Amino acid sequence: MLLRIEPGSHVPIYRQIVEQVRSAVATGRIGPEDKLPGVRELAVEVAVNLQTVAKAYNELVREGTLEVRRGMGTFVARKSSKGAGEAARAALEEHVRKLVRDARALGMTRKELGDVVVELWKDEV
């Protein structure tokens, strides 16, 4: 599983993992019943503490995105507790939150960010 962790970000690492797994599920990069790397394996892959990955996985299990099968591992839930549209919207909201944080860090106002979004939206049509 390819995750990009930003250690210097003010977003906690476990939250980055949660957001990226949600996004991967919502966009279909990983699908129902796909097996995820074990906690230890993912911790080594992204160079973070085991407890950080465990915390992220536990949150995703609690919300119904993932399920743990005893003796088999962690899988994308057969049926997410959220519909596909809701999951996609949640993933998009996470991306927008990051965009807003980044814009604030750059000192942009809400209007300036809105102007950028409107301009880019026009370019994509």
**Tokens (6 digits) for 98:** 């990051």
Whether residue 8 is contained in a domain is answered as no
**Tokens (6 digits) for 3:** 């995750």
Instruction: Note the pLDDT tens digit of each residue in 54-99.
Output: 999 999 999 899 999 999 999 999 875 555 567 677 778 888 889 9
Which domain CATH number covers 99?
1.10.10.10
Query: Which H, E and C letters describe 46-112, residue by residue?
Result: HCCCHHHHHHHHHHHHHCCCEEEECCCEEEECCCCCCCHHHHHHHHHHHHHHHHHHHHHHCCCCHHH
CA 114 to each of CA 100, 105, 122: distance values in angstroms, whole numbers, following the listed order = 10, 15, 12
Q: What is the pTM of this model?
A: 0.68
Whether residue 39 is contained in a domain is answered as yes
Range of the domain at 45: 13-124
Whether residue 65 is contained in a domain is answered as yes
Instruction: Note the pLDDT tens digit of each residue in 5-33.
Output: 999 998 999 999 999 999 899 888 999 99
Q: What is residue 35's DSSP assignment?
A: B
